[in-house]
Structure formats: C-alpha cells, structure tokens
Structure 1
C-alpha cells in the first residue's frame, strides 16, 4: 500500500511538472477594451463570438513600403492584438521590417518568444548569439530573398541590410506579447556594435 501511495504521489508530481497552458475552450477570443463586452483574457476582454466580423481577423497593407525616419535605418511595423484583435489568445504576433541600405535592427531579445525571420527583398545579415559550455557562439548568415532564419526564445539576435538596395523581412513570433529588450548600442560582447557586426559578416 505504501508503494502504491508513493507511486501515485510521484505520478501526480510528474503530471504537474509537464503541464502547459490549457487549450482554448472556444474558437477565438477577439480582444476588445470594453468590460461590458465580456470575459477578461490575456489583457483584453473577449467580444461576444456571435458579433465577430471578418475585419477582426484581417489586416491589409503589409505589402506597402514603410517610411524610414529612424537614424538606424529601419522601420518595424508590429501586428499584435492591439491592431488585429482576432490574434488575442492565439499566441502569435507578426512584424514587417523595412531597411534602407546599411539599415539595421539593433541586437535585442524576446524573453517570451521564438521568432522566424523571412526575407522577401534584398540581402540581410541576420543571426543570434547563444551561450553554452564553450562560451558565446554566434550563428549568423547573409539571407537573400526567400531565405529564413529561426531565432530561439530569449537569444540575442540582430538583422542588418548588407545589400545595395532596400530590404524587407517579415517576422513571426510565437507569443501575442513577446516582449523586446534592446541591447545597448555602445557595447555588445565587449566590443562596440559596429565591430561586432563586422565580425559576423
């Protein structure tokens, strides 16, 4: 009897250790800000599913080039539950990145998401830095139209337009709130940013 109770306690402990977020109990939860609209889930209230319309699930215009006014030469258009309410509770976010020549997205990390970066125009040097028993390792490659790279969750990653014209890439993140921590522009792995980027080309 004692061994049976030990086995049951161990089984319960293991089942709790491997638990994950529960599956949704409804098809979707369109995020709205008005508490009169329903249940509060993932930072938004859910619209009555019977009132769902197509525009809750569609965003247009991501094919259009974005103006670049940032001194680092890039513009990121982020798509999340705030501008596409049908994404609420689906665990996804999306981004379009426009680069001018030599434009870059500074090294950063997403603490709650892995990311896929897919190049649709130009040539982009992209990569990430990881740490293991042998020290820091850099995984980096020049990606051309049709290429993609995966950035594992929490890894510091970057993207730089190394081509002779504008570049465009799309990112897909597996969290509706991936977070973003930008690494300081002055020092990366003990060197300045330009030296670091030159070392991985």
Structure 2
C-alpha cells in the first residue's frame, strides 16, 4: 500500500494558495482572510507566518521569478536537447499553467504570473519590474545558448538572425497569456507557436525536422 504524501507545511501551503489567488485576482483581489478561508486557518496564523501583505507579495514575486528562471533553464539551457524538443517542452509548460487556472472550456482567466505582474505594475512598482527583468534576462541568455547549440550541431544555418529570433521567441512566449484570454482556448497558443517553429525551420532549418 502506498502512503499518501504528507500535507505541505502551513507556511508553504499559505504561499501556494496566495500565489494562485494572486494570479487569478490580482493584488487587490484577495486578502489574508481569503487565504485563511481557503486553507482552513485563521488570519492571525497568516500574519504569524508572513506579517503583512507587503511581505507576502515580496516572497511571491521572488518565487514567480525564480520558478520561471528555473523552468526556462530546464527547457532552453540543458545541453543536448534537440531544438524541436525544447519547443515542445516550452509549449507543454505553458499548457500546464493554462489548465491549472482555466479548468472549464471557454474560461478566460489570467493564468500567467508574469502577465499578472504586468497588470499590477502600478501597484507593485519596482518589485514587479525587477521580477520581470529577471525573467527577460533568463530568456535572452538561455535562448541564445539554445540557438548557438542548434547551429553547432547543424540543425540551423549559421546565417540565422540569432538576435532577431531570440527577441521574437521571447516576446511570443511572454505574450501567450493574453492570446488565450482573447480566444478562450489554448489552441491559439498552439497555432502561433506551431507557425513560428515552422517559419524558423523553413528559413534556417537543416537536416531532418525531428533533429531540429
């Protein structure tokens, strides 16, 4: 008989629930009372662990940026992963976030923590800008590395416009959230990413498609 995983410690559970509420509702759309009700504790307990909402948000922002950096490195900076597989990993990662926050067909909820940070920049100020800049730098660095490796193994031509491609990929990946809110479906993201991948292969691809 397999044992059920033990519940997360209270502080971590608070952070997880607060992160979800923040992405769905924004800074002004949730309170410590909402978090307490969701996990079955008291507001006093939330204050015990995080003090105030400013401290909670500071930890959430750092967590969003750190998590995004780790996932970007996993998708785009691991050596030896074919470029097509990197694209697949990125797409499925986005899909996972989308379905976590959009459980019913046609839902148009915000699902990207980074999209929510942009919306809340007037409230969060420099803290949001710092978090977003961290993610932008990570994409820039890791995408450049992935393209350089793809060129080195012969998947793309050395003539590829690397700086332009990096900017196009980064901007597209970071814009997937609004696409699904417009259409009410992840299919729009799939369509855009598929078209982008096909264009890159048509312009600079070499060798069998599965190796790109």
TM-score (norm 2): 0.29
Q: Which has the higher strand share?
A: 1
The structure having more radius of gyration, on CA atoms, is 1
Question: 1 or 2, which has the higher helix percentage?
Answer: 2
TM-score (norm 1): 0.30
